[in-house]
Chains A and B, each alone.
Chain A
Amino acid sequence: MKEELIQVMAGNAFAVSDGVGDMRAQPHVPVGLFSFDTRFLSHWVLTVDGQPLYALSRDDMTYFETRFFLVPGTATHYVDADVSVIRHRSIDDSFNERITVLNHSAKPAEFTVRMEIGSDFADTAEIKSPQQRGIGVLVDQGQLRLCYERGRFGREAIISSTEPVEVDQGGMTFRISVAPNGTWTTNLHVGMIIRGAGTQDLRSSLEAHQRKVRHDMREELREWLERAPTLVTPRKPVASAYREALTDLAALRYQSLAYSQLSPVGGMPWAMALYGRDSMITCLQSIAFTPELAPATLRILAMDQGGRLDDEHDEEPGKILGELRYGEMAAFGSAAPTMYYGAADTTPLFVILLDEYERWSGDAALARELRHPARMALDWIDEYADMTGDGYVRYQRRNTRHGLINQCWKNSPDAVVDRHGREPAFPRATCELQGYAYDAKRRGARLAREIWGDPQYAHRLEREAAELKERFNRDFWLPEQGYYAFALDPDGRPVDALTSNNGHLLWSGIAEPDRAAEVAGHLMGPKMFSGWGVRTFADGQLPYNPVGSHLGGVWPSDNALIAAGLRRYGCDEEAARIVAGIFDVVETLGGSVPEVIAGYPRSQTKYPVQLPAGGRPQAWSSGALLMLIGTMMGLRPLGENLLVNPVLPRGYGPIELLDIPGRWGRTDSYGRERPAHPRGRRPRVR
């Protein structure tokens, strides 16, 4: 059994410890205190009179606060302990641990309380085997300062105590005397400093931290939950999963150095940074629930839009960021660079999100403000992404040392293969990229016509979109198999694997309507549908692997887009099966929506098997749950109104989603179960 890991987080800062609150660096999981992709504490171990502590219970108060209730000793002999310890930790830009020692005896008692403290200043990208760094340790006026320098690059952790303390190179010791039935308390505060970098002052004081955590952050979380629509459902686990998903999204918002508005990071523990794809998909998924994420994300990605041709960065003018990493390895080029653009889908997604946000919010001013970056993004599709001149969006890394081999959402190195496991040459054109490009052009056309006042450009984009759709349906369709090819190789030969990417083609609207039923049949057939959700890669093909992230695993985020696509083409019943399957995963596991589960048939395992590669929470997994609710309710903005067209899985009605924000102000939606529609209904395409 894996040891339980406890996390607190806020934006891109997080702390991971064991069940008593101790942090000891491990090779396989990022344990310690992290911020801006740097580990500021790798060792943080509390003892009382030289004894380790044992956990009685824990109170995970909010995502940024946890309390551990502890006694000295081990499980076998803590009984009748006359001393107990409470560790109350909280995180924002800094980290605080309030340690309380309670003397339960009728006599005064003396204790030696010690915190061992150390840091390796590892980059999150090298947790498996951190390089040895020369760490400076300074004992300075009752503070412990851990410093790392490389040229002008500097990171520092400053640990201070509110109570008198003996500080040495390895930690802090308190020799205390506690009155009968009395308590003793100190606050250990850890400031995390990034030298230079034009940062906000990360050396926030203890008082500021406590004010922020106890008042501002608790209040802000309450308001965040209140601003979101109210879900009324007879299924209690669904109600709590909804609340959990909203809370996870609150936890995974970070403030960049340039903007005060918050945008989503990828997720715990490996992706606590801005990822263009994850961030924008999350915004699209949550647009009916937490629309404020979208403008913040669009603005920061517009600011960071590619401006130059650059091989190391896999950057081209107009390209939207793949990831933004603040760590040492990125800054010094021993990993993908700080601003890395190796993603072929982010640029069309930017236009899709801008249009979708305007449709929901009516915020035409933002669409005008971001006209230039949107136009550059649309130009990128034709000028830089069409690498072989056949009109398809393709990718091939130019940074061959640290760049990503696969620059689509299935980005593991072996993810793109045919049904026999053969890899196509580069540049590769995966099918969903064409769907996104089609959608981006159509949406760009709407923005050009309705908001930018450029009907000629709108006309051009519409024509290009229509041509792309026609070409795509000719070149990617595999008539004998009845689905769309995974990708085309540089010579235009199809990569014939059956994959979940077909669902994205429905989401984008590039699939021909008369092919939707056949595609849906594949997606929901036993080779693809596990019973929990649609597998990334169909069973029965050589590379299929139920525990392979992109070669068989089931991703809630993927499934949310697939379900939305199915409803777009009128495959309502199929969409409802996915909604029910993913909700069953969440109801069975409890807590945050997992990033990916194994592709085993549900009938075989009866339980969703989580993959070690996946982390919780993940922004686009939490977002998936919201999108599935929106899909179930059939929410769609039309002009100034919100259309509601619920199709519920059995056992999900009656359901209400109240106070849905948008250009209409706030509005309510109600859903009841109804008999399934007869099959063969005319597909509805919007």
Chain B
Amino acid sequence: MATSAAEYLERSVSGRHPDLPETTCGTLRLDIHEDARTEHWYLAIDRQNVEVTRSVEDADLVVRADREVFDRLAAGCIHVASALLRNELAAQGNLRLLMSLRRIFPGPPEARHPRDVARAREGRP
């Protein structure tokens, strides 16, 4: 895995996220399990700004998963909704905040722009 979730949260999440709606406001806590310990990452979202800290404080939404699941999420390899449905990831609280993770973490690295696909003309019937 190129970047772990912890590294990604540390380096790439704090700051402005223009693709988050201005109206999204709330706190998320990511509980990352590994062996017997849990790391807590605390994300405060307010008017397109995300602040990342390490805290065990209560949050509007608490998302729990193994480190491996978070790492794959941070690498864009899994979708948060499918992970939730597979119960690889547990979420408690205001579920409306969960999809914010889709805009905080990257998408799959191999994803293509529709225009590139069209240019390749794979679509000949």
Contact = CB atoms under 8 A, between A and B. Distances in A.
Given A152-B87, A196-B90, A316-B114, A307 B103 contact: yes
Given A196-B90, A258-B95, A427-B118, A373 B82 contact: no
Contacts, number: 133
A540 interface: no
Contact of A372 (B22, B85, B122): B22
Interface stretch (B5-13, B31-39, B49-57, B105-113): B105-113
A440 to B, nearest CB: 18
Given A307-B19, A338-B79, A425 B124 contact: yes
Interface in A324-344: 324, 326, 330-333, 337-339
B96 A259 contact: yes
Contacts of B94: 258
A425 B125 contact: yes
Interface string A259-294: 100000000000000000000000000000000000
B118 A257 contact: no
B125 A372 contact: no
A259 B86 CA distance: 21
A197 B102 contact: no
A396 interface: yes
Nearest to B22: A372
Contacts of B22: 371-372
A457 interface: no
B33 to A, nearest CB: 13
A215 to B, nearest CB: 27
A490 interface: yes
Given A308-B106, A311-B112, A376 B82 contact: no
Interface in A232-277: 257-259
- The CB with the most chain A CB atoms within 10 A, among B22, B81, B99, is that of B81
B86 A332 contact: yes
Nearest to A152: B87
Interface residues of B, number: 40
Contacts of A311: 108, 110-112
B66 to A, nearest CB: 10
A490 B82 contact: no
B98 interface: yes
B3 interface: no
B102 A308 contact: yes
Contacts of A198: 84, 90-92, 95, 98
Interface residues of A, number: 53
Looking at chain A's contact residues, the main secondary structure is loop
B21 A490 contact: no
B125 A196 contact: no
Contact of B21 (A326, A373, A387, A424): A373
B23 A369 contact: yes
B103 to A, nearest CB: 4
Contacts of B85: 153, 197, 326, 330-331, 338
A75 interface: no
B76 A152 contact: no
Contacts of A259: 96
Nearest to A373: B21
A427 B116 CA distance: 11
A426 B121 CA distance: 7
A140 interface: no
Nearest to B66: A152
Nearest to B105: A308
A490 B123 contact: yes
Given A258-B96, A490-B121, A152 B108 contact: no
Interface string A48-66: 0000000000000000000
A424 B124 CA distance: 8
A426 B125 contact: yes
Given A154-B87, A312-B108, A331-B82, A387 B118 contact: yes
A153 B86 contact: yes
Contacts of B121: 425, 490
A389 interface: yes
B79 A195 contact: no
Contacts of B88: 151-152
Contacts of A78: none
B16 to A, nearest CB: 14
A197 B81 CA distance: 9
A13 B87 CA distance: 20
Contacts of A197: 84-85, 87
A16 B58 CA distance: 43
B21 A151 contact: no
Given A151-B87, A308-B107, 19 more contacts: A151-B88, A154-B87, A197-B84, A198-B98, A303-B96, A308-B76, A309-B111, A309-B113, A311-B108, A324-B81, A331-B82, A331-B85, A338-B82, A384-B115, A388-B118, A425-B124, A426-B118, A427-B114, A490-B123
8 contacts: A258-B94, A304-B99, A310-B108, A311-B112, A326-B85, A396-B122, A426-B124, A426-B125
Q: Which A-B residue pairs are the 4 nearest by beta carbons?
A: A426-B123, A308-B107, A196-B87, A372-B21
